[in-house]
């Protein structure tokens, strides 16, 4: 009889650990399941203590994902202005003549090396954020062609960002302009798709304010990019450069806004699954 009691007491404990580690069920279901198993097994932890431990463990994982967009926004903003400061201090640009474009500040050494590193790191983080957002919407059971289109647009935007950093305008202007087009124009298209997904996908993490804020930032970014293009063609370089800086800061804010959605992520993983070949035998067995 003692042996049977030990086995029955150990079995719910293993289920408790397994329930706490699984990433397929939601937080609410696990917090209800875990205390019940503990009470049935005579586990010494109280329901309140068990619930608090599980919430703290899950919240720590959530904030890890939420920090990725914030890191991108802070790194890009501080890095761009650091490159600007280096260019002004060593005389690469002259503020008395005109306010420089971002690319002009990053075209000359030594700040060109810092500029390339910032954009390469930013390109990697954009890929990461794009994949996480795509998978988050897919896991919510509301996957669509629009979500797939957002994935493609985000990856193209990251490619353009890498082009801008690695092909400075003083080295290869054509590749640099091509990368700037992908980064700005395709990037703003990506965020308009995100506005649509924010409106349609339920639940909308972040409350009612996330949609109007994202829409306002997208509208601001779109307007600045259009005005920048027009002013650049009219050779109002200072005004166009100011619009470019404003559009870049709006982009970083838009990426940083993903931290609101990623705060609700528990776990994110990708798996490569082998597709088993179907044979006449397997069809009969099934």
pLDDT band at 168 (very low <50, low <70, confident <90, very high): confident
pLDDT at residue 278 in the model: 53
Long-range contacts for 243-251 (Cβ within 8 Å, ≥24 apart)?
Answer: 244/101, 244/102, 245/80, 245/102, 246/220, 247/184, 247/221, 248/76, 248/80, 248/102, 249/77, 250/217, 250/220, 250/221, 250/224, 251/76, 251/187, 251/221
Is pLDDT above 50 for 230? yes
From residue 72, alpha-carbon distances to 125, 127, 140, 286 in Å are: 6, 11, 25, 49
pLDDT band at 25 (very low <50, low <70, confident <90, very high): very low
pLDDT band at 52 (very low <50, low <70, confident <90, very high): very low
d(CA 193, CA 142): 14
pLDDT at residue 260 in the model: 87
Compute the mean pLDDT over every residue in the chain, rounded to the nearest whole number: 77
Is pLDDT above 90 for 219? yes
Mean pLDDT of 196-213: 82
pLDDT at residue 78 in the model: 95
Domain coordinates of the chain in residue numbers?
2-45, 64-262
pLDDT at residue 275 in the model: 59
Is pLDDT above 60 for 85? yes
Of the ranges 122-126, 201-205, 260-264, 276-280, which is most confident? 122-126
pLDDT at residue 267 in the model: 55
Mean pLDDT of 5-19: 45
pLDDT at residue 29 in the model: 41
Select from 144, 149, 123 the least CA-distant residue to 201: 144
The gap from C-alpha 172 to its chain's centroid, in whole angstroms, comes to 30
Least confident interval from 29-38, 41-50, 60-69, 112-121:
29-38
d(CA 76, CA 252): 7
pLDDT at residue 4 in the model: 44
pTM: 0.72
Is pLDDT above 50 for 196? yes
User: What are the b/e assignments for 252-284, b being 16+ CB within 10 Å?
Assistant: bbbbbbbbbbbbebbeeeeeeeeeeeeeeeeee
């Amino acid at each position: 009889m003692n042996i049977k009691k030990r086995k029955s007491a150990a079995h719910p404990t293993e289920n408790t650990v397994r329930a706490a580690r699984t990433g397929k069920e939601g937080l609410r279901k696990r917090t209800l399941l875990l205390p019940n198993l503990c009470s049935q097994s005579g586990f010494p932890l109280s329901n309140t203590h068990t619930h608090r431990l599980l919430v703290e463990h899950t919240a720590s994982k959530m904030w890890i994902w939420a920090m990725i967009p914030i890191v991108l926004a802070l790194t890009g903003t501080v890095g761009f202005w650091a490159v600007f400061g280096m260019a002004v201090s060593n005389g690469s640009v002259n503020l008395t003549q005109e306010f420089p474009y971002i690319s002009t500040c990053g075209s000359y050494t030594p700040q060109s090396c810092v500029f390339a590193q910032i954009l390469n790191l930013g390109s990697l983080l954009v890929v990461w954020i794009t994949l996480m957002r795509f998978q988050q919407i897919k896991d919510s059971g509301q996957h669509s062609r629009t979500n797939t289109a957002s994935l493609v647009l985000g990856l193209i935007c990251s490619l353009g960002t890498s082009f801008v950093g690695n092909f400075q305008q003083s080295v290869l202007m054509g590749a640099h302009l091509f990368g700037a087009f992908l980064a700005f124009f395709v990037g703003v298209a990506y965020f308009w798709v995100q506005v649509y997904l924010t409106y349609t996908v339920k639940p909308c993490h972040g409350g009612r304010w996330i949609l109007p804020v994202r829409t306002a930032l997208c509208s601001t970014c779109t307007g600045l990019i259009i005005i920048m293009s027009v002013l650049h063609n009219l050779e109002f370089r200072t005004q166009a450069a100011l619009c470019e800086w404003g559009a870049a800061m709006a982009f970083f804010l838009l990426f940083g806004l993903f931290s609101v959605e990623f705060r609700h992520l528990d776990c994110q993983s990708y798996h490569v699954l082998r597709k088993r070949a179907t044979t006449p035998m397997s069809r009969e067995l099934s």
